[in-house]
Amino acid sequence: MKKVIHTDKAPKAIGPYSQAIEINGTLYISGQIPVDPATGKVAETIEEQTEQVMKNIGAILEEAGYTFADVVKSTCLLSDMANFKPMNKVYAKYYSTNPPARAAFAVKALPMGVMVEIETVAVK
């Protein structure tokens, strides 16, 4: 049975979607952008933005009873591939052992003009 996951520790959905959906032991987390849920503000540097995205993902994982160790796939969207290396440096802190499968793409633009968005799938 499909379960909608929501936490106030991550940004509210800004459209007709859920923060995450859990079904059959798999958690699908919608693409997270670097909005601080407490202030609604976006950090300025790619490093700060990536850190906020990972915090948002962590809050959703925790709400659903998962951890970063349960993540099996990430999709990273970047507004500029020149930001790949600094994004990757922050991202790597969260997956120091057995990192998930991943794809990374440059896209024309992201919501709210942010530099990074990350979508995540976790399995128990």
Domain definitions of the chain by residue range? 3-123
Q: Is pLDDT at 65 greater than 90 in this prediction?
A: yes
Instruction: Name the percent of the chain lying above pLDDT 70.
Output: 100
What pLDDT, on the 0 to 100 scale, is given for residue 103?
A: 98
Q: Residue 41: helix, strand or coil by DSSP?
A: coil
pLDDT tens digits, 37-61: 999 999 999 999 999 999 999 999 9
Q: Residue 32: helix, strand or coil by DSSP?
A: strand
- Indicate the class that CATH gives domain 3-123: alpha beta
Q: Output the six-digit token pair for 68.
A: 């970063």
pLDDT tens digits, 83-96: 999 999 999 999 99
The predicted model gives 76-103 an average pLDDT of 97
Confidence at 14, pLDDT banded by 50, 70, 90: confident
Contacts of 39 (CB under 8 A, 6+ apart): none
Q: Side chain identity at 110, as an amino acid letter?
A: L
pLDDT, averaged across the chain: 97
**17 DSSP 8-state letter:** S
Q: Side chain identity at 41, as an amino acid letter?
A: K
What pLDDT, on the 0 to 100 scale, is given for residue 95?
A: 97
